[in-house]
Structure 1
Amino acid sequence: MNLTRLMALGVLVRSGPSHGHHIRRIAELTDVGEWGGVSVGALYRELRAMEREGLVEAARTERVGNRPERTVYAITEEGQLELSALREQAIKPLFSSHDPLGVALLFAADGVDRADLRRTLRARRGMLAIWIAEVAAEREQLLRKGYISPLAASVMRRAIVHVEAEIRWHDEIDAELAGAGTEAEVAAGGAVADTPAGDQTPGGGNA
């Protein structure tokens, strides 16, 4: 899935013929490289590749002041077909492809002190909460000024809802880890449980 290509072709349809700087500027303003997997640094290379493949064409060149000439690209009919295919590919998947946190907890958390793990996860939760506050405030400001469409606002809201769910999961696992105690406590409890009844220490009832 080439999300960089999807984004660039989509901008050419929405904005009309555009140069690479315009497309890159939109990518930077929307921060799509962070949340959308778009390789902002590869946009110019992707435009040249799509031109070779006949998906976009050079409509004209522009020069502003003493700056180098800029090629203005327009989407072709083949590019429209490619955009439709990429859009469908992007919408169909139910889950994102990578989950580093899941891998860390499932395969690399054995033997980790529960208190340390809770601190690490709580720090992550705090960062998520800050992110929600910032994005929600930005969304409201953009809506109030009329800078984004209702669809764009809905996309931002979707991201917020996802992170809100992640925070609820953080609260659940924090409660579970708090109930489990530290690794030492769990190990000690297991050792007592595994001790034969006749070998228990005085006070256990079977000395």
Structure 2
Amino acid sequence: MVEISPDTPLAAKNIGVRLLQDAPHDFLGNRIPTAHPNPGAYQAADRSRTAAGYLSCPQISNLATMIYKRSTLALAVLSLLAEVDHQQEPGMHPYRMQRLMKDRGKGEVVNVGQRASLYRTIERLHRKALIEVRESSREHNRPERTLYALTDEGRAVWRGWMLDALAAPTREYPEFLAAMAFVPLLEPGEVAEQLEKRRANLATELARLDAQIAASGEWGRLFTLEMECMRATTAAELDWVASVIADLRSGRITWTKEWLAAMAAAHAR
């Protein structure tokens, strides 16, 4: 257990208070359901621990995740501001954030194409006091330039998001898997034909990723880890799609309307 003492950073204390008061809300202020089977007991236990002046280590590492709903773009913004924090720079303006993410190839994993989305994310982070305006200036007729920096709470939230994102796989719902769940509604040959197209597209993507990783080789593996992960998942999907195509072509996977009707009738009994 970790004791909350007068020396505990204000940000950690604030997050502890928000855990009790605002846990059912995301960082946009919307109510979110709790996955805990007995939220009343959970919150009561938290209140007793907090009243005693203690929070468990898992609580401290997960506080930010429980209070604020993260997104890849919000995580990227906080990460860039954490970077300038480490470099002891005063802050960073939105245009530089977008440019750095594009120049570093982070557009592969973070959607930074729409500047409006970036500004909306920055506005929400600012509204939740995770970032603050450090400096605002205007030169001649150019647009106003605002430098943003992390608040103490923002640093704590960023760290919580990073640790949780690294440790806990998230449940995603890709469109491709949804389509695969309903392939019996199509003809086997039609499915095989479309998967052949997907196999070609995956092979093209794999070659593109290989070229990207090779071009970044001078920076070392540390700076291409996300690209390596993308390559590994793309290669695994390519192998799997090829195996499904082979089974469709050989007849090991097949179906007819009559067979599906018989299966439905058998399971309805």
TM-based fold match above 0.5 = yes
Pairing of 1:51-66 with structure 2 (within 5 A): 51-63=126-138, 66=141
* Shift in alpha-carbon separation, 1:188–1:10, aligned structure 2, 3 A: closer
Which amino acid in the other structure matches residue 47 of structure 1?
Answer: I
Q: CA deviation at 1:151?
A: 2.0
Residue in 2 aligned with 1:99? 174
**Alpha-carbon separation, structure 2, partners of 1:34 and 1:171:** 25
Which amino acid in the other structure matches residue 132 of structure 1?
Answer: L
C-alpha contact (below 8 Å) 2:78/2:154 kept by paired residues: yes
What are structure 1's unaligned runs of at least 5 residues? 191-207
* Shift in alpha-carbon separation, 1:130–1:64, aligned structure 2, 3 A: farther
1:134 to 200, 208, 211: 208
The question of 1:166 aligning with 2:227 is answered no
C-alpha contact (below 8 Å) 2:102/2:112 kept by paired residues: no
1:3 to 72, 78, 91: 72
* Shift in alpha-carbon separation, 1:182–1:61, aligned structure 2, 3 A: same
C-alpha contact (below 8 Å) 1:113/1:182 kept by paired residues: no
Pairing of 1:58-207 with structure 2 (within 5 A): 58-63=133-138, 66-106=141-181, 108-144=182-218, 146=219, 150-180=221-251, 187=256
C-alpha contact (below 8 Å) 2:134/2:146 kept by paired residues: yes
Q: CA deviation at 1:161?
A: 0.7
**Alpha-carbon separation, structure 1, partners of 2:256 and 2:128:** 62
Q: Deviations over 1:62-115 (max 9, x none)?
A: 445632111011111111011012113322333541132222122x21242222
**Alpha-carbon separation, structure 1, partners of 2:190 and 2:252:** 11
Q: CA deviation at 1:129?
A: 1.2
Residue in 1 aligned with 2:11? none
What are structure 2's unaligned runs of at least 5 residues? 1-69, 86-90, 260-269
Alignment RMSD (CA, Å): 2.8
TM-score (norm 1): 0.76
Q: CA deviation at 1:13?
A: 1.2
**Alpha-carbon separation, structure 2, partners of 1:74 and 1:173:** 50
The question of 1:14 aligning with 2:88 is answered no
Please state whether the residue corresponding to 2:216 is helix, strand or coil.
helix
Residue in 2 aligned with 1:23? 97
Please state whether the residue corresponding to 1:110 is helix, strand or coil.
helix
Pairing of 1:34-53 with structure 2 (within 5 A): 35-36=109-110, 40=114, 41-53=116-128
C-alpha contact (below 8 Å) 2:247/2:253 kept by paired residues: no
Q: CA deviation at 1:125?
A: 1.4
* Shift in alpha-carbon separation, 1:153–1:60, aligned structure 2, 3 A: same
Q: CA deviation at 1:39?
A: 8.2
* Shift in alpha-carbon separation, 1:64–1:173, aligned structure 2, 3 A: farther
Residue in 2 aligned with 1:195? none
Please state whether the residue corresponding to 1:163 is helix, strand or coil.
helix
Which amino acid in the other structure matches residue 100 of structure 1?
Answer: E
What is the percent sequence identity of the aligned residues? 23
